[in-house]
């Protein structure tokens, strides 16, 4: 059963799922997005329910297209949701501003998630500034419960005002889970047919006067929406702890936004001698409730601002304090008290409160808060007791991308280059895992599709050696086609290595336009052919290879490196699953001990150090092994039969032909495989 539709009035949901549930309750008609974490869980939760609730839902080709699809539905009077990680806001920014200035006729909610602390990788950005740039209201939940409530409110405010609403979460809120009291879930029937009236003064940007009028209208919608959304803000009157010192009229307060509110509450609960502390919790970040904040600040002597990343609220509060000539000391990031990098925690908040209390003259309270900060800082990080051994990110066993990059290194060596002499610009997705040893192929990573432009710029700069760009199929559809067109038009000499596994793999194996689609007849989705698209861009050297055919792939790459223009090599093979043998293989590979020369002349161990497959491990020599070998305590190479997919790359790397398929009747392997297959049923019995 889908967790979004489980029976009962209280559901245990993550922040992403809370947004999805609220969208269903609000009567959403169209849901779009692009895969990626944080934030991808909302649309992933809605997709299985699309048919049941009459919902048009899709993984779009990129975030800009996702927004445009959602906006088109909202212009026709429908309620739309578009989801993405923070990087997606960068992709859709051009359309966002134009759509925001035109407004919508139905409702449009944009759910994005900032990766504060960088749990998933990419730029640690503060996306709140997009709300200011586009003149759209911005809501920021502090918990999954608030994500649920704010989503409902965002749809209501957007429908009433015509303003798109940006709902911005963070990784902690999106991934956290909690019990949420929900309303009954009923699919609301569409009362009126979709309708869109021609209004070029509103929906085009052809005339300067129209653009100015649209800007003014967007600001008016922002003000109206701000009044409707202000209920998400909360203000707590000062309360003193049991052992608090006399206030002597020196009042202190905190303005807090996002998940920092939870940290503040936890710290407050542990302080016994804190002075009366006024708290203003912001859920509506833009437009900032200036009148309410002014009334809150007026009686205070000092105020602390708690917000992760940039001092957006703090800067606006500083301006407000100066404009109103308020006599209040402002503490936050601008003076260096709080960092602009990384996520907050309880220890950091306690230390900031100590500075606040010290500023107001509460030295005893400041000392207690400082001691608490030291105590919290000494605690192990969450999960550190269960932390895995340090390791780099790596390709799955048998991944075709490993085969391709290994072939590339061989091709470069055959062409007279050392692999570390030739630049390969990397791209977003599984392909970037080629930065790690032992392959160490990729040099750069910018944004989806940027590898081609970077490669062209390197050639323009005068790099004489070959330059390659590597990107996956989903990245190519998302943002790589324009770069390829540009490189062809420029006539530069470079090689594009397109690693086509038929999926958007790293984010959860979602389909992309080039995926192998199931179904036949009118319901079957057509599959975009990368080769046809590449040739349509004007590329004359286009070769498709099977990366598991190693020698043929090496030869094709050598040919591409020698081509005097833009060459494209498409390395096509499906994404692998650890432990699932490749088609045509009957058993995983094994080391033949009698032929293996590890410790006996094969010191480089290319099957381990050059291949980098997680199925290949080094282990001490076993009992019964050669006594001289055991005396030297040499390590032996082993292959894990339960994760090996029999790709054969280790066999190709072995100079002594000591690796081959495991005997199908090998009892140990069969017993282990049967045991692993039985695990799910055994767990269900427990």
* Inter-residue contact 680 to 618 (CB < 8 Å): no
Per the annotation, does 575 bind a ligand?
no
Q: Which residue has the tokens 């060596």?
A: 413
Exposure on the CB side of residue 324, measured as CA atoms within 13 A: 19
Rounded Cα distance between 257 and 129, Å, is 15
Q: How many residues does the chain have?
A: 686
Q: Which residue has the tokens 């879930």?
A: 185
User: What are the structure tokens assigned to 205, written together?
Assistant: 């940007």
Per the annotation, does 396 bind a ligand?
no
Spell out where 361-519 has E strands.
423-425, 442-444, 467-472, 494-500
Instruction: Say how many C-beta atoms besides its own lie within 10 A of residue 676's C-beta.
Output: 11
User: What are the structure tokens assigned to 622, written together?
Assistant: 């076993």
* Helix 363-377, helix 346-359: angle, nearest 10: 160
Closest alpha carbon to 505 in 109, 3, 10, 35: 35
Closest alpha carbon to 67 in 80, 79, 57: 80
What's 485's DSSP letter?
A: H
Per the annotation, does 654 bind a ligand?
yes
Cα–Cα distance list, 93 to 89, 96, 131, 133 (Å): 6, 5, 10, 9
Per the annotation, does 613 bind a ligand?
yes
Q: Which residue has the tokens 């009698």?
A: 594
Cα–Cα distance list, 652 to 167, 593, 646, 649 (Å): 51, 17, 12, 5
* Inter-residue contact 403 to 573 (CB < 8 Å): yes
Per the annotation, does 399 bind a ligand?
no
Render the burial of 281-310: b for 16+ CB within 10 Å, e for the rest. bbbbbbbbbeeebeebbeebbbbbbbbbbe
Query: ∠499-503-504 over CA atoms, to 5°?
Result: 95
Per the annotation, does 647 bind a ligand?
yes
3-state SS class at 226: helix
User: What are the structure tokens assigned to 399, written together?
Assistant: 């991944």
Rounded Cα distance between 237 and 247, Å, is 14
Strand partners of residue 544: 570
Per the annotation, does 430 bind a ligand?
no
Closest alpha carbon to 498 in 420, 560, 436, 415: 560
What's 124's DSSP letter?
A: -
Annotated binding site: 596, 602, 607, 613, 644, 647, 650, 654
Annotated binding site for [4Fe-4S] cluster: 596, 602, 607, 613, 644, 647, 650, 654
């Amino acid at each position: 059963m889908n967790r979004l539709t489980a029976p009962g009035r209280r559901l245990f949901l993550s922040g992403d799922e809370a947004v999805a549930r609220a969208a269903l309750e609000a009567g959403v008609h169209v849901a779009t997005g692009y895969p990626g974490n944080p934030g991808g869980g909302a649309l992933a939760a809605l997709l299985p329910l699309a048919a049941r609730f009459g919902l048009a839902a899709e993984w779009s080709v990129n975030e800009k297209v996702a927004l445009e699809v959602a906006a088109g539905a909202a212009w026709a009077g429908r309620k739309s949701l578009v989801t993405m990680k923070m990087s997606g806001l960068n992709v859709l920014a051009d359309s966002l501003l134009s759509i925001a200035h035109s407004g919508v006729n139905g409702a449009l909610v944009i759910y994005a998630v900032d990766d504060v602390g960088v749990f998933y990788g990419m730029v640690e950005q503060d996306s709140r500034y997009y709300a200011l740039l586009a003149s759209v209201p911005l809501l920021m939940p502090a918990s999954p419960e608030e994500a649920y409530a704010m989503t409902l409110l965002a749809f209501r405010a957007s429908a009433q005002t015509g303003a798109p609403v940006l709902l911005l979460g963070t990784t902690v809120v999106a991934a956290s889970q909690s019990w949420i009291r929900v309303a009954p879930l009923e699919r609301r029937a569409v009362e009126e047919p979709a309708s869109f009236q021609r209004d070029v003064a509103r929906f085009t940007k052809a005339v300067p006067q129209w653009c100015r009028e649209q800007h003014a209208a967007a600001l008016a919608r922002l003000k109206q929406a701000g009044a409707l959304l202000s209920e998400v803000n909360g203000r707590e009157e000062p309360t003193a702890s049991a052992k608090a010192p006399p206030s002597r009229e020196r009042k202190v307060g905190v303005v807090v936004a996002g998940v920092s509110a939870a940290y503040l509450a936890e710290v407050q609960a542990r302080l016994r001698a804190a002075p009366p502390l006024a708290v203003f919790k912001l859920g509506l970040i833009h437009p900032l409730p200036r009148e309410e904040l002014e009334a809150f600040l007026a009686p205070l002597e000092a105020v602390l601002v708690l917000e992760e990343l940039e001092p957006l609220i703090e800067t606006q509060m500083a301006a407000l304090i100066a404009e109103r000539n308020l006599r209040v000391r402002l503490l936050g990031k601008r003076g260096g008290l709080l960092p602009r990098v990384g996520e907050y925690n309880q220890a950091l908040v306690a230390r900031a409160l100590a500075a606040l209390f010290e500023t107001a003259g509460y030295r005893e309270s400041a000392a207690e808060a400082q001691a608490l900060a030291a105590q919290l800082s000494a605690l192990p990080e969450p999960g550190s007791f269960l932390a895995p051994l340090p390791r780099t990110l790596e390709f799955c066993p048998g991944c075709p991308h490993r085969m391709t990059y290994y072939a590339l290194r061989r091709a470069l060596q055959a062409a007279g280059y050392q692999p570390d002499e030739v630049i390969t610009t990397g791209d977003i997705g599984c392909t970037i895992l080629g930065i790690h040893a032992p392959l160490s192929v990729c040099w750069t990573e910018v944004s989806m599709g940027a590898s081609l432009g970077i490669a062209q710029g390197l050639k323009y700069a005068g790099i004489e050696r070959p330059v390659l760009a590597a990107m996956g199929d989903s990245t190519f559809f998302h943002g790589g086609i324009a770069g390829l067109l540009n490189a062809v038009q420029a006539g530069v000499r470079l090689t594009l290595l397109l690693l086509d596994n038929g999926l958007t793999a790293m984010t959860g194996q979602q389909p992309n336009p080039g995926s192998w689609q199931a179904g036949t007849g009118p319901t079957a989705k057509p599959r975009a052919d990368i080769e046809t698209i590449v040739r349509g861009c004007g590329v004359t050297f286009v070769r498709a290879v099977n990366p598991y055919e190693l020698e043929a792939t090496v030869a094709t790459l050598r040919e591409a490196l020698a081509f005097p223009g833009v060459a494209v090599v498409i390395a096509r093979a499906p994404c692998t699953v650890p432990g699932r043998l490749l088609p045509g293989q009957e058993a995983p590979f094994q080391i033949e001990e009698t032929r293996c020369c590890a410790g006996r002349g094969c010191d480089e161990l290319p099957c381990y150090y050059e291949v980098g497959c997680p199925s290949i491990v080094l282990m001490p020599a076993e009992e019964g092994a050669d006594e001289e070998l055991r005396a030297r305590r040499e390590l032996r190479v082993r292959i894990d039969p339960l994760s090996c997919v029999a790709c054969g790359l280790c066999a190709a790397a072995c100079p002594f032909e000591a690796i081959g398929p495991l005997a199908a009747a090998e009892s140990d392997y069969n017993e282990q495989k049967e045991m692993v297959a039985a695990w799910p049923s055994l767990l269900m019995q427990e």
